[in-house]
Each structure stands twice: as C-alpha cells, then as structure tokens.
Amino acid sequence: MGPMPEGFLAHDAAALGLGLVSGFALALVLVFVLARIRRRVGRSVAAPGVDALTGLLERAALYERTRGLWSVAQRRMRPFTVVQLGIDGFGTLRQRHGAAASEALLLAVATRLRERCRAADLVARWGDAEFLLALPETDELEARMLAERLRGAVAALEIGSDAGRLRCTASMGLAQRRDQPTLEQLVHDAAHWLAAARASGGDRVVAPPRADFPELERASGFGQLE
C-alpha cells in the first residue's frame, strides 16, 4: 500500500482532534452533573429535617429539637415564647409575580429571621408561607419587641420580578408559656393569635390579653383559647 495522501492525513487528524475536544466537553458536563448530584445527596444526608428552599428547620425537626428546652422551661418555670409569622396575601403575590420571585421572597424572609434571632432560638418553615420561632428564656414583652423588628425587616424587602417590584407585609401571633400542658398547645395558641392578626387587617403583631393579676387569670381562664 502506498503512502496516504497528505490531505487525507490532515482531515483525519482534524477529525480526531474534534473528537477529543467533544469527548473532553462531554466529560466536563458529566463531571459537573455528578458534582451537583453529590452536593444534593450530601446535603440531604448531612442535614435531615432542613427545608430545601429556605435552609430552616422543618416542622418535625423543630419539635424534636425543642422538646428538651420545653421540658426545662416547664420544670424550672422559665419563660418560653413561640412566635408564628405569616406573609400576608402570599397566594395573590405568587399569582402576580410568579413562582421564582415568590421563592426568592421566602428565602429572603427566612434569611432575615435567621439573622435577627439569637443562636439559642429555633426557626422553622411552618407552612407554604408561614414560619415559627421558638424562643427559650424569652418572655412576651421581649418576644413582641423582636416580632416588631422582624415585621419592619420583612416590610423593607424588595424582590424584582417581571411584574414589577415584589414587596410584602407579615402578620404575627405570639404566645408565652403559661398553663399550656404541651408544646403543641403553645404552638396552637400562637397560631390562634396569628389568625387574629390577619383578621384585623394584617401587618401587625397580636398576643393574648394580659390580666393584671396572674392568679386570677389562671383561676378564671382569662386569655385561654378554646
């Protein structure tokens, strides 16, 4: 067999080079995809009970981590307050601005909550657009002050979307440990006052009325929920 034509060799070398480049590009894509998969799997293994969007605790995880704190508060008669926060009109906001902007808003709210709470506080995503704060060693007055600061921080948020600037307000209900027999009852009380805040027009913090004489409050059931 005679020598190969020079043009044929050049064409063959070019094809081989193109094949190597394409193979290298494909390898890079595969490495990138596998790295993302490993990161996601790693997060799910390393952080069970964490909400995927906000990075906050999920409901079950908050209950699990709060049991010990609740037991200490009950046994030693220490203050313990729960704040439940809901974004006002979130369904309407999502319809107008879209899912991407709405998720960005949830993440921004979660970030504000995490930044403004203490290391000892527990923060969870409680529903689609609701959050819960468990505040050990915190009485109602201190919790209300924190809630008002959070309300202002949420109102100051702005998220860009195709429909314009997305802004929102938040309503909050809070309940301090008093005669509630369980942590679940305390959370139920906070949810009640969140509903009262929304019913009053939203963008406010609502807590149960306080009696001047705590012993009469306990005897009469003043401020207790059905």
Indicate the pTM of the whole model.
Answer: 0.74
Same domain, 91 and 7: no
Same domain, 151 and 102: yes
Per-residue pLDDT of 103-116, as tens digits, reads 999 999 999 999 99
Same domain, 113 and 167: yes
52 located within any domain: no
Same domain, 2 and 113: no
Distance, in Å, from the CA atom of 209 to the CA atom of 182, rounded to the nearest integer, reads: 20
Strand partners, 165: 160
User: Lowest-confidence range among 25-39, 44-58, 168-182?
Assistant: 25-39
Same domain, 112 and 164: yes
Distance, in Å, from the CA atom of 77 to the CA atom of 224, rounded to the nearest integer, reads: 19
Same domain, 20 and 89: no
Same domain, 124 and 84: yes
Mean pLDDT for 154-164 is 94
Same domain, 41 and 106: no
DSSP letters for 7-43:
HHHHHHHHHHHHHHHHHHHHHHHHHHHHHHHHHHHHH
Per-residue pLDDT of 51-81, as tens digits, reads 999 999 999 999 999 999 999 999 999 999 9
Mean pLDDT for 160-183 is 95
Name residue 133's amino acid: L
Give the domain extent around 13.
Answer: 1-46
Structure tokens at 67: 């049991």
Same domain, 72 and 32: no
54 located within any domain: no
Residues 99 and 162 sit within 8 Å (Cβ to Cβ): no
Highest mean pLDDT among 17-31, 39-53, 193-207: 193-207
Q: Give yes or no for residue 82 having a pLDDT over 80.
A: yes
Name residue 121's amino acid: D
User: Which segments of 98-211 does DSSP mark as H helices, in order?
Assistant: 99-116, 140-155, 183-199
Give the count of domains, the chain.
2
Same domain, 177 and 88: yes
Same domain, 175 and 129: yes
Strand partners, 130: 86
Report which secondary-structure segment, H or E, holds 87.
strand 80-87
What is the domain-level CATH number for residue 77? 3.30.70.270
Structure tokens at 36: 């993302």
Q: pLDDT class for 4, splitting at 50, 70, 90?
A: low
Same domain, 71 and 134: yes
Query: For residue 49, how many other CB atoms are within 10 A of its CB?
Result: 15
C-alpha atoms less than 13 angstroms from C-alpha of 57 in its C-beta half-sphere: 17
Query: For residue 87, how many other CB atoms are within 10 A of its CB?
Result: 23
Q: Give yes or no for residue 138 having a pLDDT over 60.
A: yes
Q: Give yes or no for residue 221 having a pLDDT over 80.
A: no
